[in-house]
Amino acid sequence: LDQYWLNYNLGGERVGFKGLAYLNRADKTAYQDSAADNYASPFREEQFDGTYTWGADAQLTLSAWKPARLTFGASYKEARFDYDEDYAASSRDAGAEGRQRFVSPFANFDVRLLQERLIVNMGARYDWIETSDGANWDTAASAGRPAYDNRFGSETDGSFSPKLGIAWHPDAKTTLRASGGKGFRAPSLFELYKVHVRGGGTYYREANPDLSPEEIWSYDVGAERFLGTKVWAKVTIYQSFAKDYIGDRLIGTAPISGGRTRYDYILDNISEVDIYGIEAEMQWYPVDAVTLFANYTYNISKVDKDDNNAALEGNYLPNDPRHNLHVGVRYHNPRIVDASLIANYYADIYYDNENTLKKSDYWTVDVALARRFLDRFTIYLNVENIFDEEYPIFLSPSSGDTIAPGVIVAGGLKIDI
């Protein structure tokens, strides 16, 4: 994955400007194997060499009236999906492609009153999305499915998303907050066009070019406070109502070769989803440069209504842990090193809408190191899952399970120009 970006900031007492241009390009090859040969030899290569996202953001901030600040601007983003499958033992050709454009004007008004003890933030954003050039194909029959070659027309969607937030400081150590707003997510090109096959054909997920965007209204209230000078604590209660949530839908099963069963899914919209919970966080600063922290989330995400399958109503959403805990320590000393050690705990996770596949719990531990030098260079090293914990990313009633890749090491050098 190549990432490039360019920032420009111009600050002034009354007028400010920020600009950003970026390019993210994927150049990835994944090797898949046939379940019949026990992963002894490559079966196909999955290539994403033409997949990229680029865009630009620009915003202008006006502060003519000192207690208030008005910001407005627009974002443009274009995404290209180009997926191709190459088979080692045949001339079979399969793949998918598509393009999306996003245009999103926005505005935000922030006002601070009563000697900045009361802060009110209001904003709005409009998202316009055009999806075009969609296609998927496979020149050979597979797992009991016929060959196909599909081309899809252009579609446009749009959504207006307002938000409102209020913060009140009754004293220097306490903050009370409340906010609400609407969110919007267009289906990705992967979700619209990619036919997903795993487990030697036992897991088969159709693409769905007719997916509708997800829309969600969210509300939260919370409080945070310094307890003395060494301890800070925060608690938040939240509630969300989602419409047209995008998820896997089991549409049938069929026998295939070798006495196996193919499980057929399609990405589809679930009518209404209810999400609520509580978050608690605490930080302790025992000595300079050291922070001990912990945060815990208890989350309930359930299907409230499904017009296509009432049997799903009341079920938990997949891949959304009910219990989520993070505990760790940070050390911040620019003259020596910035370091963190974090233990992560996840529990009560379902992996299907039918709630038949579940993982009770698992732990992972992450380490991060960074050192800045010569005022503009930062070298860093991040290691995820340092104890190589084996846990599922995706489970299927077939043999098409996906297990986490184990230890992940990433390092690099950042240069501030």
SS3 of the chain: CEEEEEEEEECCCCEEEEEEEEEEEECCEEEEECHHHCCCCEEEEEECCCEEEEEEEEEEEECCCCCEEEEEEEEEEEEEEEEEEEECCCCCEEEEEEEEEEEEEEEEEEEEECCCCEEEEEEEEEEEEEEEEEEEEECCCECCECCEEEEECCEEEEEEEEEEEEEEEEECCEEEEEEEEEEEECCCHHHHHCCEEEHHHCEEEECCCCCCCEEEEEEEEEEEEEECCCEEEEEEEEEEEEEEEEEEEEEEEEEEHHHEEEEEEEEEEEEEEEEEEEEEEEEECCCCCEEEEEEEEEEEEEEEECCCCHHHCCCECCCCCCEEEEEEEEEEECCCEEEEEEEEEEEEEECCCCCCCEEEEEEEEEEEEEEEECCCEEEEEEEECCCCCCCEEECCCCCCCEECCCCEEEEEEEECC
Distance CA 285, CA 227 (A): 11
pLDDT score, position 237: 98
pLDDT score, position 40: 46
Q: Pick 373 or 323 by higher pLDDT.
A: 323
Distance CA 387, CA 393 (A): 17
pLDDT above 50 (res 149): yes
**113 CB contacts (<8 Å, ≥6 apart)?**
67, 119, 120
pLDDT above 80 (res 281): yes
Question: How many percent of the chain have pLDDT more than 90?
Answer: 65
Range with lowest mean pLDDT among 64-73, 86-95, 98-107: 86-95
Distance CA 415, CA 396 (A): 43
Q: How confident is the model at residue 37 (pLDDT cuts 50, 70, 90)?
A: very low
pLDDT above 70 (res 21): yes
pLDDT score, position 30: 67
Q: How confident is the model at residue 400 (pLDDT cuts 50, 70, 90)?
A: low
End-to-end CA distance of the chain: 22
pLDDT score, position 73: 97
Distance CA 384, CA 160 (A): 38
204: phi then psi, degrees, rounded to nearest 5: -135, 115
Per residue in 213-224, pLDDT (tens digit) is 999 999 999 999
